[in-house]
Structure 1
Amino acid sequence: MTEDLARLVWDTARLLTRTFESRARGLGVTREQWLALATLARHEGTNQVHFAQIMEMDAIGLCRLVDRLEAAGLVRRERDAADRRARRLYLTQAGWARLDRLRPLAQALGADLGAGIGEADLATARAVLGRMMANIARSGLPDEGAGS
């Protein structure tokens, strides 16, 4: 029973990702870039190492993502006054503008996701999914060296 539910959640997440990417394509942004912009908006001025942790990415992957966002003029790196090796990340004016254009897209996708579902059922779904996430988090990540 829970395997079917896990598959349904997984399939829903994949469809949500594909749908968002399809809709955002016209704005020239991938889901990963949108997530980075939205996350950076909440954590402006953070350094790249901390931002990689927040984004749950390795340092190299995040660096490539930030390189693309910087090349597009959406993000800027500034030297950290306290640590010359570190760079702090900020959205540019163009980055804020792009995020403003993406928010309605994300809101519309959320509305589509919840269409025809009552608020009580949505609240129950949020609570159940939150508990499931906590259960998975509590079970811990498998040891990367296990099975080798």
Structure 2
Amino acid sequence: MTAADTPDAPGASPGGFTMLLDDQLCFVLYAASRAVTHRYRPLLEELGLTYPQYLVMLVLWEHGVVPVKEIGTALQLDYGTLTPLIKRLEGSGLVRRERDPEDERTVLVSLTEQGEAIRERARTVPSAIGDAMALPPQDFEDVKRILRQLTRNVAR
């Protein structure tokens, strides 16, 4: 037990949590997120995508034609953040936006031929990232499960 672990230590707060950087889960999450997205960068540059654009493309590759609202829900992004992202993808010729003929308020996003084509080139990305993470399969699944639970808990 270190001095910081005792309740009356200068860095301690109620509940046994400390003000030490190494004890902050938020910092560990932040550092891990930055490291992972940094690892994605060269792989995605070859595809002409940013990391957020790649996430949009993953949703479209998985589901086909998707309303903007559903993309936002899947990626936990608001409309103001998502719209410019989709516009850039459209400008690159990867997606198209169209009003839903059954509901003019809904904007549907779909892949173009070019957007479908880069899917094949992107197939190596998940395994390259998995290799970089170097986690055993069970640890990989455990981390995803724990982070999903953490997200649900904090979002409540």
Q: TM-score, normalised by structure 1?
A: 0.76
What is the aligned partner in structure 1 of residue 44 from structure 2?
24
User: Which has the bigger relative contact order, CA under 8 A and spacing at least 6?
Assistant: 1
- 1:55-103 Cα offsets, whole Å, 9 max, x none, are 2222232221111111111001223121224321111111111122122
- 1:91-146 Cα offsets, whole Å, 9 max, x none, are 11111111221221232111221x2x433444443444344334333xx2xxxxxx
1:53 aligns with 2:49: no
Letter matched to residue 119 of structure 1 = P
- Number of residues paired by the alignment? 136
Root mean square deviation of aligned Cα = 2.4
**Overall identity of the aligned pairs, in %:** 29
Pick aligned residue for 1:75 from 76, 95, 107: 95
Pick aligned residue for 2:120 from 100, 120, 127: 100
Q: Return closer, same or farther for 1:126/1:27 CA change in 2, 3 Å cut-off.
A: closer
- Distance, in Å, in 2 between the alignment partners of 1:121 and 1:72 is 37
**Which deviates further from its counterpart, 53-62 or 31-40?**
53-62
Q: CA deviation at 1:16?
A: 0.4
**Structure 1: runs of 5+ lacking an equivalent:** 141-148
Larger Rg: 2
**Structure 2: runs of 5+ lacking an equivalent:** 1-16
- Distance, in Å, in 1 between the alignment partners of 2:46 and 2:136 is 31
- Distance, in Å, in 1 between the alignment partners of 2:148 and 2:104 is 40
Q: TM-score, normalised by structure 2?
A: 0.72
What is the aligned partner in structure 1 of residue 28 from structure 2?
8
Letter matched to residue 104 of structure 1 = T
Q: Does the CA-based 8 Å contact 1:78-1:88 persist in structure 2?
A: yes
Q: Return closer, same or farther for 1:60/1:130 CA change in 2, 3 Å cut-off.
A: closer
